[in-house]
Amino acid sequence: MKDCNCIFCKIAGGEIPSATLYEDEEFRVILDLNPASKGHSLILPKEHYANLFEIPEDVLGRAAGVAKKIGAKLLEGLHATGLNVLQNNGVSSGQTVFHFHMHLIPRYDGDALGLAWKPGKLTEADRDEILGIF
């Protein structure tokens, strides 16, 4: 289902032009306009799903296939040395566009990209609470 107010629907559908690296019936892969690194790209499904919890599993699986294929090509073509695959859900995670997308972020030895976090310590209370959910 298309959301007519969604910018990524318009980009994925070709209504708004974009720097497109790859396109098939289901996905468009574009360069991010505000890249974290050289080659930072976004995989957009052409259908509108707000996030991970809305996208059907089969579409998600095919998006992972696109990530693998385009990620490998970015790595090779740009001589990158690593790749982060990132996907945000919800404002508190950093999601700003509420149309499911996967970030492909090429990494280069010695780059100072701040994607790392300060490691915490798993407490017994948290462990027990979390295991109790499942």
- Given candidates 96, 116, 124, 132, which one binds ligand AMP under the rule CB under 6 A? 96
> Residue-wise over 36-72: b if at least 16 C-beta within 10 A, else e?
bbebbbbbbbbbbbbbeeebeeebbebbeebbeebbe
User: 48 touches which of ligand AMP, Zn ion, none (CB within 5 to 8 A by kind)?
Assistant: Zn ion
Query: Structure tokens of 50?
Result: 């707000």
- Residues 31-50 binding Zn ion (CB under 5 A) are 48
Coil vs helix vs strand at 17 = coil
Q: Which is nearer to ligand AMP, 2 or 127 (CB)?
A: 2
User: 6 touches which of Zn ion, ligand AMP, none (CB within 5 to 8 A by kind)?
Assistant: Zn ion
DSSP string, 51-66: STTTS-HHHHHHHHHH
Catalytic residue among 48, 99, 101, 103: 101
For the CA atoms of the chain, what is the radius of gyration? 17
Task: Just list the catalytic residues.
Answer: 101
Binding residues vs Zn ion (CB under 5 A): 3, 6, 8-9, 48, 99
Binding residues vs ligand AMP (CB under 6 A): 7, 18, 30, 32-34, 42, 88, 94-97
